[in-house]
Chain A
Amino acid sequence: MRSVSKSVSLPPFQAFIDAQRDTVFRYLVAMIGPNDAEDVFQETFISALRAYPRLRPDSNLRAWVLTIANRKAIDSIRARKRRAVPVADVPEVAVRDGRPAEDHDVWAAARGLPATQREALLYRFAADLPYSDVAEALGTSEDAARQRVSEGIRHLRKAWAAT
């Protein structure tokens, strides 16, 4: 008898967005704050939809969409910096990545960390990925991913204690 192997196919985009939207939104809120996160959420999924039919069906969809979200968030931070106009009365708040750090907002404090550590924290905690997926998203080994996360937490603890 001939055995028929069922080929793996991509889920319908609706199923994909239903499964990933919460993770992507959390990731973006942590990275750029709730206001910009809404626009960048749309940009992220538009970019994903554009590329979707060419995606390999066995891809790690969560890691894939988070790398898009990360790229779009960085674009948005850059665009904001370009638009920023110097003003005479600068408010007395710490400014990182062009936006004020909110008190008690640990993610705002995380914006002051080195990018490698901040990204590791974003993937691990905001996106709630297991370390194997954090490693895939960062393009490192799992050990290296764990190390970046623990370094990030150590630095953040110091920065946060100072707020």
Chain B
Amino acid sequence: MRDIEKALALDLPGDPSRALAERFAARAEDEGLLDVAYTLEDSPVGPLFLAATKRGLVELGFEGRRELDWFVARLADKLSPRVLEAPARLDPVRRELDEYFEGRRLDFDVPLDWSLTKGFTQRVLRATAKVPYGEVSTYRQMASKAGNEKAVRAAGNALGANPIPIVVPCHRILRTGGSLGGYGGGVPRKEFLLKLEGALE
């Protein structure tokens, strides 16, 4: 007598749906249904979590500081649950980051999506985005450019909450007097980036 229940439990060798799910991300993009695409990318400062909406790069995270799932869940909550691992949309960002770390790129050209920030924080970060490669500025100057020169501490908080570090170069902002100050990705990364740009011995 054959065991019919055993036969009904399909024995599919390997993990056949994995490749199908990977192909699905490209299909979702083609259909215009992919609100947030993300990927992980290795870099000289450790693995980077990269996420883009249809408008542009929305988040760059230091993956070692938080786990991948934490980044993904937060974007699903804040932006849209239509979030998929879809590396293709991040290709231009990865290319520009590679060039930056090789010292061949001084400015990022990829479009940015500022929707994870608002108000004073966003104004501080937009001012920060204009500080050129290899130069540094201060929290006080960023506070002033954002319209409130007294809000130095708030400017520091805004930079600490920068969702797109490296591309929005908050590492170029130091304390008045020249000490490094803090960094969302940890001070050693800030030092590394400033040395890469020749702004620090």
The finding on whether chains A and B are genuine partners in a shared complex, rather than unrelated, reads yes
Interface size class of B (residues with CB under 8 A): 20 to 34
Q: Is B21 an interface residue (CB 8 A)?
A: yes
- The docked-state distance in angstroms from the alpha carbon of A24 to that of B69 is 23
Bound CA span A128–B10, Å: 10
- Asked if B76 is at the interface (CB within 8 A of a chain A CB), the reply is yes
* B82 and A41 within 8 A (CB): no
Chain A interface SS verdict (over half): helix
B20-A38 in contact (CB<8A): yes
Assuming the contacts A15-B72, A26-B12, A128-B9, asked whether A41 and B83 have C-beta atoms less than 8 A apart, the reply is no
Q: How far is the CA of A156 from the CA of B8 in the complex (A)?
A: 10
Contact of A46 with B4 in the complex, beta carbons under 8 Å: no
Report yes or no: B28 in contact with A49, Cβ–Cβ below 8 A.
Answer: yes
B85 on the interface (CB 8 Å rule)? yes
Q: Within B6-21, which residues are at the interface with A (CB < 8 Å)?
A: 7-10, 12, 15-18, 20-21
A-B contact count (CB 8 A): 93
Q: Looking at the complex, which of A4-12, A75-83, A84-92, A135-143 is the stretch in contact with chain B?
A: A4-12
Contact B27 A30 (CB under 8 A): no
The tally of residues in A whose CB lies under 8 Å from a CB in B reads 36
**B102 interface residue per 8 A CB criterion:** no
Residues of A within 8 A of B82 (CB): 13, 49, 52-53
B85: which A residues are within 8 A, CB to CB? 14
> How far, in Å, is A163 (CB) from chain B's closest CB?
10
B75 an interface residue at 8 Å Cβ cutoff? yes
Nearest-neighbour CB distance to chain B for A160, whole angstroms, equals 6
Q: Say yes or no: is B198 at the interface (Cβ < 8 Å to chain A).
A: no
CB neighbours (8 Å) of A10 from chain B are 76, 81
Which of chain B's residues has its CB closest to A161's CB? B2
